[in-house]
Structure 1
Amino acid sequence: MDLKLKGLNALVSGGTKGIGRAIAETLAAEGANVSICARNAAEVETAAAELARTGVKTLGRALDVADGAAVAAWVEATAAEFGGVDIVVANVSALAIGNDEASWQASFATDMMGTVRLVDAALPHLEASSAAAIVTISSVSGREIDFAAGPYGTFKAALIHYTQGLAYQLAAKNIRANSVSPGNTYFKGGVWEQIETGNPELFATALALNPTGRMGTPQEMANAAVFLASPAASFITGSNLVVDGALTRGVQF
């Protein structure tokens, strides 16, 4: 299937590792120009250079998505360099699982407001696009109670609500908005590798919950996100696509 992404311009937050990196790589492989951000400047530079090897335009900025001014500057720099913005993928999370106030504040600033500010900054450019799409990365923790039921799960649920609201509000402007809810995703340097080493009992429990007998990969999550971001999904908006290998058991209507 031709996803019709060639020549489109995409923003991906948290694009240097894990799911975000896989999304950026998949967009680039499909011919989209890709701009990424993350907090580590060296990792941003390396990732942007590697993406450029596919022959597309790339841009990388080191920033914290909790900094609204920095996010807006990144968006404007991308629009100027690429000639517009067609796709926004909001992927960054504070990964705050504790129930202390600092964790709640971090999740609100990063997961929630980092997404809202990115979308708000990109909207004028999306309105000028003929293939505008927003994809937010939520989590299965946003739709069922698990060990991350504190700030992480709460704001992941809020992201789904926010995204579906965008879909309704922006449909008349031909801007689509969807979310992806990954299940447990394993990759080198990721949270599940850390749990495997630091809390093997929790890791074994989480692994046993999935009837496939394994966790997902960043590429499997990226495939879903990139499809939803593409013109091939032109009549899909307001959806939350769960990619979890049948981990969650609640019926989603």
Structure 2
Amino acid sequence: MDLGLKGRKAILIGANASVGRHAAEILAQEGCHVALCGRTQEKVDRVVATVEAAGVTAFGEAVDASDAVALPAFIKEAAGALGGCDIFISFVSTNPGVDSDEGWQAVMNADILPLSRGIRAALPFLQQSDAGSIVTLSSTGAVEDFMGPQPYNALKAAVINYSHALAQKHAVEGIRVNCLIPGPIYTDDGPWVAIRNAMPDFYDGIVAQIPMGRMCSGEEIGKAIAFVASPACRFLTGASLVVDGAFTKRVQF
């Protein structure tokens, strides 16, 4: 199936590693031009090189996504470099795992505010697209109890609500907003590598709860993101899609 991504332009925040890196590579393989940022210029440059190798335009800079001035400036510059923006996705996230003032503020600063600021900065460009698409990323920790009360789970639940409200508001402009709710994802440069090494019993216990018997791969979640973001899904908006290998046990409806 042709996803209709050839010649489209995507701006990805926090895509210099892990899930964001895989999404950038999949989008590029589908013919989408990609602009991306991350904290580390060396990692950004590696992803830019991979994107360019797919024969599309790539643009990348090292940006602190929590910077309220630098992030919108990057999005404006990226849209200029690509000649517009059809797709916007923010991958930046953190999970301190503690229920404290510092923990709540950390998730707000590194996850929620970059998402909302990024969307606001990208909207003028998405409004000029004939296939504007925003994909947000929540977590299965937002829809079922996972490791007790913690800000990451609660604020990832807020992402689902925020995404649906955005979809309702911007559908009239032809901009789609959908939220992916991934379960555990294993990439060779992602957080589960360190968890597996430091806490093998915990890691094995999580895998044992996934009926498919393994975690999602970076390529698999990248393909899911590309499909949802693509013009192939023109009538899909306001959706919250769980991608978890049946990790969650609730009935999805």
Displacement of 1:43 after TM fit? Answer: 0.8
Contact 1:23/1:223 (<8 A) preserved: yes
Instruction: Tell me the equivalent position of 1:15.
Output: 15
CA deviation digits over 1:150-190, x for unaligned, max 9?
11111111111111110000010100000111111112132
Report 1:13-162 matches (<5 A): 13-147=13-147, 149-162=149-162
Q: 5+ residue gaps in structure 2?
A: none
Q: CA separation of 1:209/1:187 partners in 2, compared to 1, >3 Å: closer, same or farther?
A: same
**CA-based RMSD:** 1.1
Instruction: Tell me the equivalent position of 1:220.
Output: 220
Deviates most, 140-149 or 151-160:
140-149
Stretches (4+) displaced over 3 A: none
Q: CA separation of 1:194/1:2 partners in 2, compared to 1, >3 Å: closer, same or farther?
A: same
CA distance in 2, matches of 1:189, 1:88: 22
Displacement of 1:100 after TM fit? Answer: 2.5
Structure 1: which amino acid aligns with 2:203? F
SS at match of 2:92: coil
Displacement of 1:223 after TM fit? Answer: 1.2
- The TM-score with structure 2 as length reference comes to 0.97
Displacement of 1:38 after TM fit? Answer: 0.7
CA deviation digits over 1:29-56, x for unaligned, max 9?
0011001111111111121122111111
CA distance in 1, matches of 2:190, 2:9: 27
Contact 2:99/2:149 (<8 A) preserved: no
Instruction: Tell me the equivalent position of 1:248.
Output: 248
- The TM-score with structure 1 as length reference comes to 0.97
Instruction: Tell me the equivalent position of 1:239.
Output: 239
CA distance in 1, matches of 2:95, 2:121: 23
Q: 5+ residue gaps in structure 1?
A: none
Structure 2: which amino acid aligns with 1:99? D
Instruction: Tell me the equivalent position of 1:4.
Output: 4
